[in-house]
Chain A
Amino acid sequence: MTIRHAACIVGAFEHPTRHAPDKSHAQLHAEVAAGAIADAGLSRDDIDGYFCSGDAPGGLQSMLNYLNLTVRHVDATDIGGVSPVVQVAHAAAAIALGRCSVALITLAGRPRADRIRTGTEPRIRHAAAPDVQWEYPYAIPTAASYALAARRHMHEFGTTSEQLAWIKVAASHHAQHNQHAVLRDLVTVEDVVNSPLVADPLHRLDCCVISDGGGAVVVARPDIARSLARPVVRVLGAGESTGHQHGGRIDLTRTAAVRTGPVAFAEAGVTPADIRYASLYDSFTITVLLQLEDLGFCGKGKGGAFVSDGALISGVGRLAVNTDGGGLCNNHPANRGGITKIIEAVRQLRGEAHPAVQVPDCALALVHGTGGQLATRHGAGTLILERAA
C-alpha cells in the first residue's frame, strides 16, 4: 500500500493579504477555501473531506459549521506549522482508501493584526501539558529554541552567521519578484549579520516575518484531477514524524527530517539529487540549513558550505529553494508556514512561479516542514510531488 500516484493536488491558493485587521480569522479560512476551489475548477459541493489544524479558530467543528460543509472525512492533525504538509499525505491516504474524493486543507490567521509577539514571547498551549512546569519558567520562546540549535551547530561544525545569512539573502532575491511579499528589498550578508540580535546567534533578519493571511490546497482523486483544466501535480511520497527531548538525550543538531526524508524518498523512488525545486520551512535561517542536511541534500555539518554564495537562488545556485521568498521574506500566515510551502511547490510544478524564479521544466519538487520548537518538541513532514507528463 502506498500513496504514490494515489492523489493529486488540483487546487492551490495563497491569500494576497499580509495584514488583515479588517477581516475575521474564520473569514480568512473561508476566503482561502473558496480561492483554492476556484483555482481547481471545482465547486464547494465537490468537497467531501476537510482538513484544518491548530490555527483554525474553534477547530474542525467550528470551521465546518462556519463554512457550512458536510463531509465524510475529517482530519485536525496538529504538529505545528508543518501540519498541512502531512495532511496532504493524509488526504492522499484517505483518497486511496475511498474515504473521500476531494479534500480541502485550509490554514489562515491574523497574528499581525492581533499584535501577537510571535517568536519572542513564551506561550502555554495547555496548562496540563506535562512539559509546562519544566519549561515555562525558563522563558523559551520560539526564537530561543532555534537559537539553541544554531549555537550547537556552530559549535560542532563551525557553521557561521555569515553562512546562515546566505539563506536570507536567497529569500530576498526571490521576494523582490513577489508583489505580495512582506519584505521585498534585497539584503546582503552584511545586512543580516548587522541586524539586531534577537536570540544569539540569530539576528532579526534570521527570523521569518509575522503576517496575516493564509492559504489552501485541494487534493483529489487522479481521475478527477485529469478531468480538470489545471496541470496535474501528483503526490509521489511522504513521511512524517516528530522530534523532542528524548528523555534528556536531545541532539539539537538533528531534526526529525532524518526520519521523514528517507521514508518519503523511498516511497517516491527518487533521491535528493533528482529534486529540482525545494520548499523548505524557514521559520529561521537555521531551520533551512538543518533540513538540507537531514534530508540528505548535503552531509551532516556541511550545510553552511552548501547554502553559501547564493546556492539557494533560483537560476544561480545549485538548488532553488523557497522561490516565493519563503517565510523569511514573503509570508508566514498564522505563524505557520506549511501551506505556503506546498503552494509554491505547486506553482513551480505547474510552471506558474514568477518567470524570474521559475525553475525551467520543473518536474519534481520536495516540500518539507518543521513545526513547533526544535529545542523542545517539533513536527516534521516531507512531501514529494511530481508534474504529470
Chain B
Amino acid sequence: MTNDRAIPPVRPDPESLPFWEAAREGRFLIRRCRACAQAHWFPRSLCPFCWTADTTWEQASGHGTVYSWTVLRAGAVPNIVAFVELDEGPRMLTDLVDVDPDAVAIGQLVEIVFCRTSDPDGPPVPMFRPR
C-alpha cells in the first residue's frame, strides 16, 4: 500500500526500533505504562504521564476515528493530513489514504494501513483508511 506522494523515510532510533521492526511485519504497536495503565502516542520509554519507566509495547487494534483533518494542496499531489483518535485513546498525527478528500469527515471510522516510504529498504509508516 502506498499513497501517491513520495513519503520521506523514517530513521528509527534505539528507542523506536521495535515499533519500526513490527511495522515491517504489518503490526501496529503502541506504548502503554504498567504503572498508570495509560497508553500514549508517540511511543516513549518513559511514560509521559507519570514518568515511570515501566512501559511496554502492545499490539493496538489499528482502529480509530478521525479527530481532525485537512487537505494540503500545495504539492503536486494533494495530501490529507489528520489526527486519528485511536480506539486505545491517544490522538495520533497521520495521513489518510484511499479516500476522496470530499468523503472525509470528523468522526469517520478508519483503520491502519502501512505505506512504503521513498526508501525501499526502510520500514513502512502507519497511515489510515476508511473502514
Contacts and interface: CB of A to CB of B under 8 A. Distances in A.
B39 A248 contact: yes
A144 interface: yes
A141 B95 CA distance: 13
Interface in A155-206: 155, 196-202
Interface string B1-27: 000010111111101100000000000
A252 B7 contact: no
B6 to A, nearest CB: 10
A199 B72 contact: yes
Interface string B88-113: 01111111000001000010000000
A376 interface: yes
A148 B72 CA distance: 10
A135 B8 CA distance: 10
Contacts of A245: 41-42, 91, 93
A252 B83 contact: yes
Contacts of B62: none
Most interface-central of B9, B73, B81, B89 (chain A CB within 10 A): B81
A148 B68 contact: yes
A148 B10 contact: no
Interface stretch (A58-66, A126-134, A255-263, A364-372): A126-134
Contact of A149 (B12, B68, B86, B125): B68
Contacts of B75: 120, 139
Of B11, B13, B44, B74, most buried by chain A (CB within 10 Å of CB) is B74
Q: Interface size class for chain B?
A: 35 or more
B73 A197 contact: yes
A250 interface: yes
Nearest to A149: B68
A137 B10 contact: yes
Contacts, number: 122
B56 interface: no
A13 B68 CA distance: 40
Given A120-B74, A198-B74, A249-B91, A155 B106 contact: yes
A133 B12 contact: yes
Contact of A375 (B13, B83, B89): B83
B95 to A, nearest CB: 5
A200 B71 contact: yes
A127 B92 CA distance: 20
Contacts of B90: 247-249
A163 to B, nearest CB: 18
A144 B81 contact: yes
Interface string A102-139: 00000000000000010011100001101111111111
Interface string A66-79: 00000000000000
Nearest to A150: B70
Nearest to B20: A133
Nearest to B96: A138
Contacts of B82: 148
B57 interface: no
Interface string B57-84: 0000000000111111111000101110
A140 interface: yes
B127 to A, nearest CB: 8
Given A200-B71, A248-B89, A250-B91, A131 B42 contact: yes
B73 A133 contact: no
A142 to B, nearest CB: 10
B101 A200 contact: yes
Contacts of A196: 73
B72 A133 contact: no
A195 to B, nearest CB: 12
A238 B129 CA distance: 44
A40 interface: no
A37 interface: no
B114 to A, nearest CB: 11
A137 B117 contact: yes
Contact of B68 (A138, A139, A252): A252
Contact of B67 (A147, A152, A202): A152
B48 interface: yes
17 contacts: A122-B8, A130-B15, A133-B11, A133-B13, A134-B93, A137-B8, A137-B9, A139-B8, A144-B70, A144-B72, A148-B68, A152-B67, A198-B74, A201-B70, A248-B40, A248-B42, A249-B91
Interface of A: 117, 120-122, 127-128, 130-141, 143-144, 147-149, 151-152, 155, 196-202, 245-250, 252, 375-376
Given A130-B15, A139-B95, 19 more contacts: A121-B74, A130-B44, A132-B11, A133-B10, A134-B93, A137-B7, A137-B125, A138-B79, A138-B81, A138-B127, A139-B72, A139-B79, A140-B93, A151-B70, A198-B72, A245-B42, A247-B41, A248-B92, A375-B93
